[in-house]
Amino acid sequence: MSSITYNNVDVDGLKLFYREAGASNAPKLLLLHGFPTSSHMFRDLIPLLADRFHVIAPDLPGFGRSDTPKANTFDSIADTIERFTEIVGFDRFAVYVFDYGAPTGFRLAIRHPERITAIISQNGNAYVEGLSDGWNPIRAYWEEPSEINRNALRAMLTPETTYWQYSHGVADPTRISPDGYTLDDYYLTREGAADVQLDLFGDYKSNVALYPTFQQYFRTHAPRFLAVWGRNDPFFLPPGAEAFKRDIPGAQVNFFDTGHFALETHATEIAEAIRKFLG
């Protein structure tokens, strides 16, 4: 097991926090988290991979311990993470994407396909059939960005909703450590954090608009692809995982009997799947 270090780096004036482990000459693996969490979600996974890979997991801009940018869009997040990879020397790497990490990582892939050695998607969607009805309140804000629709989404930033995201679809909720969702709630109370998340809810439509572009990338470049999917996710449905095989015939899709935050209950199983997949 390789020890984890906790670092900060300046990325064009923004401080980004990141976790790092593994030998610098080992194959590189970038871990990208989602809403409303941070690189802390990878606390169990990193030690299971660091003997074989050089692993880096940043907190996305506006999340966790990273600075909040002036613009809160998925394009700006991808811009910052792209520069981050260059600064930390990740010139060619596999990328693990989850939730918001998926449209971030897929943007990196379509911009620089030569840098991506493989993609692991844990409930990271790129197909309309993967979107559940749970997106309807957010979709309403995409279509009509009114103050009423924006304020209606504040219910998604409460501790009750955070816990529901962690526990929904999990057979035994006592397996879920309170550390994860409690830390997420703490970060959501940072000054300006609510507006960051509300801005990104509104901008999520830009990700859906890019789905055809992502899919064209999959067909054209056929990246090595592994899906490790919580089958009971209330936001990203299993058909979204199966759809990757339509554009990447060699894609591997593994389902686990858990919810959105699959690493909370299945970190060991997912690590084993990654080790086997990347070889």
Per-residue pLDDT of the chain (279 residues; tens, 9 = 90+): 468 999 999 999 999 999 999 999 999 999 999 999 999 999 999 999 999 999 999 999 999 999 999 889 999 999 999 999 999 999 999 999 999 999 999 999 999 999 999 999 999 999 999 999 999 999 999 999 999 999 999 999 999 999 999 999 999 999 999 999 999 999 999 999 999 999 999 999 999 999 999 999 999 999 999 999 999 999 999 999 999 999 999 999 999 999 999 999 999 999 999 999 998
Neighbouring CB atoms inside 10 A of 250's CB total 9
Cα–Cα–Cα angle for 258, 50, 267, rounded to 5 degrees: 10
Query: Range of 34's domain?
Result: 5-278
Q: How far does Cα 177 stand from its chain's mean position? A: 19
Yes or no: say if 197 and 35 are a contact pair by the CB < 8 Å rule.
Answer: yes
**H or E element that contains 188:** helix 178-188
| Residues with active-site annotation | 260
Nearest CA to 217 out of 61, 56, 108, 88 is that of: 108
The number of folded domains in the chain is 1
Q: Which residues neighbour 276 within 8 Å (Cβ) at sequence distance 6 or greater?
A: none
Tell whether pTM > 0.75.
Answer: yes
DSSP three-state, residue 232: coil
Residue 185 maps to which CATH number? 3.40.50.1820
